[in-house]
Structure 1
Amino acid sequence: MKKLLLVAMMAGFASTAAFAAAKCEVHPKDQWIKEADFKKKLEADGYTIKKFKVSGDCYEMYGKTKDGKKAEIYFDTVSGKAVKSEIGN
């Protein structure tokens, strides 16, 4: 029974990790929007950035929306388009 529970827990963690990842299109780095420029655009659009990083081929932002909601958003590095977002309360 313990072994079955452990396997079920591990499967749950694997599915959570797979859900968390975003798939962004791969672009040559010289075509990417500069990080500093993109952060300025996000702030101009009303986002408050708590953490900003490169995640694989995406830009990833943790912070708040202009409405003050918690946000985790993955963006395409060339178009700046949101690829995946999780908006909370």
Structure 2
Amino acid sequence: MKTIALPAKMLPALMLAATTLFATGAMAHGGFKCEEPKKEWKLRDDLEDKLKAEGWDVRKVKIDNGCYEVYGFDGKGQRREAYFNPKTFELVGDVPQK
């Protein structure tokens, strides 16, 4: 296996590019945060029922960064990873899906 030697002056630019790439991915999934006290949260099943009434096909609901994270398909058939406030069920964020 051959080793490729890069000029030393390229290293800072390469490190910056790698850091930016990894930070962007982390922000996409960790940028949504809910800070409601747990005693004020509504039930997960109630959110699932609400979304199903809106035409969603809910595959999974879990907790992430204090929000309800929902995986499924919305009423238009679009694949979604959406974050909801557990107290109000307000949509607080969406991760683009391919």
2:86 and 2:80 map into 1 onto residues whose CA distance is: 18
Sequence identity (%)? 31
- Structure 1: where are the runs of 5+ without partners? none
TM-score, structure 2 normalization = 0.75
Report the equivalent of 2:89: 80
| Displacement of 1:87 | 5.3
TM-score, structure 1 normalization = 0.82
Correspondences of 1:49-60 after superposition (within 5 Å) = 49-60=58-69
Report the equivalent of 2:3: none
Bigger Cα Rg:
2
Code of the aligned partner of 1:9: A
- Structure 2: where are the runs of 5+ without partners? 1-5
1:30 is paired with a residue of what secondary structure?
A: helix
Report the equivalent of 1:43: 52
Code of the aligned partner of 2:32: A
More displaced, 69-78 or 10-19?
A: 10-19
The superposition leaves residues 55-77 of structure 1 with CA deviations (integer Å, 9 ceiling, x where unpaired) of: 02100101101111111110011
Q: Of Structure 1 and Structure 2, which has the larger fraction of its residues in strand?
A: 1
Report the equivalent of 2:71: 62
Of 23, 27, 44 in structure 1, the residue corresponding to residue 33 of structure 2 is 23
1:37 is paired with a residue of what secondary structure?
A: helix
Number of residue pairs the alignment of both structures matches: 88
